[in-house]
Amino acid sequence: MKLTQTNSAAGQQDTIRVNALHALAYCPRLFYLEEVEELYTQDAAVFAGRRLHTELEREEGEEWEELVMESAELGLRGKVDALRTRNGQVIPYEHKRGRCYRDRDHKPQAWESDRLQILAYACLIEAVRGITILEGRIRYHADNVVVKVAVTDVGRQQVRDAVQQAQQLRQAIERPPITTNERLCVRCALAPVCLPEETRLAQDAEHHPTRLFPEDDDRDVIHVLEAGTCIGKSGEQIKITKRDKTANTVPARQVGQLVLHSFAQISTQALHFCADREIGVHFVSGGGRYVGSFDSRQGSVQRRIQQYRALSDPAMCLQLARQLVFCRGQSQRKFLMRGQRGAEESTRLDGAIAQMQRVLKQVPDADSIAALLGLEGNLAAIYFGALPGLLSASAPTEFQFSSRSRRPPKDRFNALISFGYALLLKDVMNAILTVGLEPALGFYHQPRSQAAPLALDLMEIFRVPIVDLAVMGSINRGQWDVEEDFEVKGDRVWLSESGRRTFISLYERRKEESWKHPVLGYSLTYRRLFELEVRLLEKEWTGEGGLFAQLVIR
């Protein structure tokens, strides 16, 4: 039976959820992430908790009374798991899947966060029903024990103090510091967002971080290349129908991204479905140009305000831009250094490597974005001028090139690089939207008609390790058909459909490769590195920076 009671007409925005007080007692930072930045996770523990309550409702039958309450005077709202009457006394119950806390005598006790939660429910019942509650009870199902919590004046004051602290935090503009109790972080569902271990490393170079960042995403990235293909929804599946009416379905849980090339179409129902299932939807033109992404973000306004405040500061932008240019330049230089090992004639490479080193020494002293753009341009010119020296002697002459040509590509090498950068931009955008930042607010690149500045900024870190290395390696391994995989129209060269399919396969395999982070010390795939780097960037303006743009190839 479900009852709703209130002692005020005040809206929910003026009150604190009792569950939020539970988070506050566990860790103030967790409360802030959930209640202010509106970041939530629905992991296995959450779903298991829901199943437990459903099962309890069936078992208890009519004895179960679920009560939804709100008190503006107390500043709280919540839903009590169960109310029971024992010897004329109303007793609120909370059910927990896990184990209880054991004191020195091994007697079962409530965890502090659980204790505050049941006390808050007791105070709510008192405020709404006008009765006195003497105790609350918490059942820990893993131990099969019930812990009694006495409701005293001291406990009631603790609830009022917690509500006041919660209200103050809700008005704060900065995240609270990470907890000093590292054991709490290991069990926290929001550790992948908070990144407490990475913060500890930034604060103490001797710290050895434990990886709390989530395991690699093994969901598929589906590329739809054929024009006229329609994407729809069928139950819990993505339905892909080609022009000839043949259709395939893929379970939504197996899909991480949908990439629509050329003139593929997607229904409104499918868009809503993808947004609900956190499936990225992206669009690439038939010519291989990134067009845009479906933005389904909700909440996180506070975080975007912080981003705007930080990236409106010229000093912050200059600092981040220096880190970015140095990171990309170092990766370009290290890539050329790899070519020295097998080159018989390395004089050209040696000169370029030395010249890049001289330019890189100027980056930390650049006093403006304009100066950095000039240094970056010099580095790129040296790099692409020397890059042909990495081509194998057995590589077809059709892959020779002299410089970087963007749109349109003038040769096969540039056609490959350009398509790769379009896919990379798509993946960086996917990470930005997943994290919840605003892609239009960048710190280095200027706004353009289509490509978002922040995405252009971040993709600089990944150009060399994900695209340049993969393209050069594929050419030297003879993986391309110079006729079938390319379309040559005058002085313009594009990838054919077979070429795009080959490249997509190559690119997605590259993203699945693991790399040990040079600073954090743990390994993760490039696919997961996108999201990690976006989160490390956000730390730069939340007072926990120092790890952004450290991904330099060895």
**447 against 496, higher pLDDT:** 496
| Overall average pLDDT of the 433-450 stretch | 86
Tokens linked to 291: 């067009």
Using DSSP, state whether 409 is helix, strand or coil: coil
Whole-angstrom distance, CA of residue 108 vs CA of residue 148: 10
Q: How does residue 257 score in pLDDT terms, banded at 50, 70 and 90?
A: very high
Q: What is the pLDDT of residues 198-223, one digit of tens each?
A: 999 999 988 988 888 887 888 999 99
Q: Residue 475's closest CA among 512, 408, 420?
A: 420
Measured in whole angstroms, the distance separating CA 507 from the mean position of its chain's CA atoms is 20
In whole angstroms, how far apart are CA 78 and each of 87, 251, 519? 25, 36, 43
Give the pLDDT of residue 458.
96
pLDDT over 50 at 428, yes or no: yes
Query: For position 5, what pLDDT does the model report?
Result: 58
Contact 197, 185 (CB under 8 A): yes
Three-state DSSP class for 167?
helix
User: Which residues, in sequence order, are bridge partners of residue 266?
Assistant: 231
How deeply is 436 buried, as exposed, middle or buried, from its count of CB atoms within 10 A (0-12, 13-18, 19+)?
buried
Tokens of 545: 């920076």
Pairing status of strand 135-140 against strand 145-150: antiparallel
**173-178 — which CB contacts under 8 Å span 24+ positions?**
173/302, 173/305, 173/306, 174/306, 174/542, 174/543, 175/29, 175/32, 175/33, 175/37, 175/542, 176/28, 176/29, 176/32, 177/29, 178/29, 178/544
Confidence of residue 45 (pLDDT cuts 50, 70, 90): very low
Helix 153-171 and helix 112-129: axis angle, to 10°? 100
Strand partners, 130: none
Report the share of the chain in percent with pLDDT over 90.
66
| Confidence band of 38 (pLDDT split at 50, 70, 90) | confident
> Mean pLDDT score of the chain, rounded to an integer?
88
> How many angstroms separate the CA atoms of 325 and 379, rounded?
9
Helices first, then strands: H and E counts in the chain: 18, 22
Beta 89-96 vs 76-80: how paired, if at all? unpaired
Measured CA to CA, the distance from residue 334 to residue 337 in angstroms comes to 5
| pLDDT tens digits along 394-416 | 889 899 888 888 778 999 999 99
Helix (H) or strand (E) holding 476: helix 469-476
| Displacement of CA 218 from its chain's centroid (Å) | 15
Q: Which two tokens stand for residue 158?
A: 């603790």
What is the rounded distance in angstroms from the CA atom of residue 279 to the CA atom of residue 259?
Answer: 10
For the four alpha carbons of 408, 290, 484 and 396, in that order, the dihedral sign comes to positive
CA distance 230 to 240: 6
Q: Name the DSSP class of 443.
A: S
Identify the weakest region by mean pLDDT among 20-29, 77-86, 471-480, 490-499: 77-86
Half-sphere exposure of residue 139: CA atoms within 13 angstroms, side-chain side? 14
What φ, ψ does residue 190 adopt, rounded to 5°? -100, 10
For residue 484, the model assigns a pLDDT of 95
pLDDT at position 51 is 45
Q: Using alpha carbons only, what angle is made at residue 82 by residues 115 and 9, rounded to the nearest 5 degrees?
A: 90
Phi, psi of 418 (to 5 degrees): -65, -45
pLDDT exceeds cutoff 50 at 489: yes
Which amino acid makes up residue 256?
G
Tokens of 244: 């000839």
Q: According to the model, what pLDDT value does residue 41 have? A: 63
User: 387: pLDDT confidence band, cut at 50, 70 and 90?
Assistant: very high
Residue at 535: amino acid letter: R
Quote the pLDDT of residue 408. Answer: 86
pLDDT for position 57? 46
pLDDT (average), residues 190-202: 92
Q: Which of 157, 166, 142 is nearest to 18 (CA)?
A: 166
Specify whether the CB–CB gap between 74 and 127 falls below 8 A.
yes
Residue 548 confidence (pLDDT): 94
Task: Please state the φ and ψ torsions of residue 93, each to the nearest 5 degrees.
Answer: -120, 145
- The answer on pLDDT for 298 being more than 80 is no
Spell out the residues 6+ positions from residue 98 whose beta carbon is closer than 8 angstroms to its own.
Answer: 140, 141, 142
354, pLDDT greater than 50? yes
Taking only the tens place, the pLDDT of each residue in 505-520 is 999 999 999 988 888 9
Q: What is the pLDDT of residue 345?
A: 53
Chain Cα centroid distance, residue 47: 21
**pLDDT tens, position by position, 309-343:** 999 999 999 999 999 999 999 999 999 998 765 55
Say which residue, 375 or 59, is predicted with more confidence: 375
Above 50 in pLDDT, residue 171?
Answer: yes
* pLDDT at res. 404: 86
Looking at residue 163, its amino acid is V
pTM: 0.86
User: Cα-atom radius of gyration of the chain, to the nearest Å?
Assistant: 28
Q: Which alpha helices (DSSP H) does 361-461 contain, by range?
A: 369-386, 412-435, 453-459
Supply the pLDDT for residue 43: 45
3-class state of residue 355 by DSSP: helix
60 has pLDDT over 60: no
Give pLDDT, residue 293.
93
Separation CA 146–CA 447 (nearest Å): 60
- Please count the CA atoms within 13 angstroms of the CA of 180 that sit on its side-chain side: 0
- When pLDDT is averaged across residues 263-268 and rounded to a whole number, the result is 93
User: Residue 448: pLDDT above 90?
Assistant: no
Q: What is the C-alpha separation between 281 and 460, in angstroms, rounded?
A: 22
- The Cα 119–Cα 150 span in angstroms is 8
The helix/strand/coil state of 116 is: helix
> Phi and psi (nearest 5°) for 523?
-100, 145
User: Comparing 52-61, 232-241, 334-343, 384-393, which segment has the lowest mean pLDDT?
Assistant: 52-61
Distance between CA atoms of residues 422 and 417, nearest Å:
9
Q: Is the pLDDT of residue 96 over 60?
A: yes
User: Is-contact 21 116, C-beta < 8 A?
Assistant: yes
